[in-house]
Homo-oligomer: A and B are copies of this chain.
Amino acid sequence: MLEKINLKAKIDRKMYKTQKEDLITRLGTLQRQAKSLGIPIMIIFEGWDAAGKGTLINELTVPLDPRSLIVYNGRRQLSDDEIKRPYLWRYWTKTPAKGQIVILDESYYKELINSKIDNNYKKQLMYQEANEFEKTLSDSGILIIKLFIHIGKKEQKKRFESLESHQETSWRVTKADWKQNKNYDEIIKKQDRALELTDNESAHWTVIEGNDHYFAIIKVMDTVARLIEEAVDQNKNTPEIELHSLITETDDPYRTPVLEGIDMTKTLDKEQYKSELKINQEKLKMLEYEIYRKRIPVVLGFEGWDAGGKGGAIKRLCENLDPRGYQVHPTAAPSAEDLAHNWLWRFWKNVPKNGHIAIFDRTWYGRVMVEPIEGFCTAADYNRAFSEINTFERQLTDGGAVVIKFWMNITKEEQEKRFKEREDNPYKQWKITNEDWRNREKWNQYTVAVDRMLLKTSTEKAPWVIVEGNDKLYARIKVIKSVIEAIEKKLNEK
């Protein structure tokens, strides 16, 4: 691709001036339109050193309203928070909200090229993850614009020399820069390969011929304008989809039931509970240090029926742990900020650092339970959600994480009993609301959704553990033991 490109593209100064004036007006208008339609835009700048990315970004941003614009510098030193998480974390957390433009001055693409990994499988995974990332964003309506600023070997050399010759700029040219120029013919093949592997349906690359700086400025501005225009047009022409519940009780008479096969009679007597609790909490505490030492991240998700015992189980799980090693993330209804981002954004934010435990009290599985039942998402969103979830969790386990999801299961009768107890107990009244009773009326719809969820998202590396929860004591021990078992299995892998 790159080697075939003719770098002689030029524009004369007069043309440059008129074109640029036009583009400044156009970009300003388009940004306002995109903002009012709530289109999030992510623009990635990549390319050779000294290709002029910095200046091009400056030129592009001149006509844009800075209040809905963020530029991230990808060349800075990574923070500890970033180094200790999957490499996509730092990009997930920077994804644009509705109406926002985010510019990445170098990104994962640069990391892919520079990566020293020579294991085919791992390398392919990294590329796969980048493409999956872009697909997930694009599917949720984020416009991704990828620009590669290309200059020739001679041009690059000339620029380095010119920078070096001026006292104020000479510090900018490093040994690594000269090395890139020296190995240009080799590196161009790597760049090419990376462009090839990441030019996907969701986000195509545009190569900007950068030898003539004026041409490059116009082409960058024009490309961005054209792609925003397309997105604006498309967005205007997409009919609003009317939302409605996607799951009916009689959804499918021959569906595969999972919950109905669970033995709900399991119990544990109090004495045994006490001793098991003590032993296993101790064990888990030791393992908490062990995973810290080995830098293994652990992700535990809790879902279940209302009053299914999530809170109690989480409490016993953490009771004895070192609080520096874990964090509980309660998941409530999404905030306005959450809703302005891709739906997975708020969960990616809380992905644990290596060596830490993240406990999610309710999780991303709302996307395939409450959302389709209440009609908060489209049928297409719901259909995509299963692979989006499996991809998300696979990316975590690919990154070395232990991932388990718990389904705290109780019977409908047991739920009624617990609801009533809560109403009668002044200390627990806060735990029960009218919404709980309303959700209970949808028990059968939830059963359909949960059965499907358990079937579609229980994977080898990120399994569901179904907890027979009618007896709270049994349930709590099963949760702790399952966590211990999963961590021990992971430690034995190493």
Query: Which residues in A have some Cβ–Cβ distance to B below 8 Å?
Result: 1, 4-6, 8-9, 120-121, 124, 189, 192-193, 196, 199-201, 204, 207, 209, 215, 218-219, 222-223, 226, 252-254, 256-258, 260-261, 383-384, 386-387, 390, 454-456, 458-460, 464, 466
Contact = CB atoms under 8 A, between A and B. Distances in A.
Contact of A201 (B192, B199, B219, B384): B384
A367 B116 CA distance: 38
Query: Which 7 pairs show the lowest CB-CB distances between chains A and B?
Result: A6-B261, A219-B254, A121-B121, A120-B121, A196-B459, A222-B254, A4-B258
Contact of A196 (B193, B222, B460, B466): B460
24 contacts: A1-B458, A4-B261, A4-B464, A5-B256, A5-B261, A6-B260, A6-B261, A8-B261, A9-B256, A124-B124, A192-B460, A196-B390, A196-B460, A199-B390, A199-B456, A200-B387, A201-B383, A201-B384, A201-B387, A204-B386, A215-B254, A218-B254, A222-B253, A222-B254
A4 B454 contact: yes
A4 B387 CA distance: 19
A411 to B, nearest CB: 16
A209 B256 contact: yes
Contacts of A454: 4
Contacts of A4: 258, 261, 454-455, 458, 464, 466
A256 B387 contact: no
Nearest to A3: B458
B455 A1 contact: yes
Contacts of A215: 254
A8 B219 CA distance: 64
Nearest to A209: B256
A456 B200 CA distance: 10
Nearest to A190: B460
Contacts of A219: 254
A154 B70 CA distance: 61
Given A6-B258, A199-B456, 6 more contacts: A4-B261, A6-B261, A196-B390, A199-B386, A222-B254, A223-B254
A203 to B, nearest CB: 11
Nearest to A452: B204
A149 to B, nearest CB: 12
Contacts of A464: 4
Contacts of A201: 383-384, 387
Contacts of A189: 460
A258 B5 contact: yes
Given A124-B121, A189-B460, A384-B201, A207 B455 contact: yes
A192 B219 CA distance: 50
Contacts of A387: 199-201
Nearest to A206: B256
Contacts of A193: 460
A124 B386 CA distance: 20
Contacts of A204: 386, 456
A464 B4 CA distance: 10
A130 to B, nearest CB: 14
Nearest to A123: B121
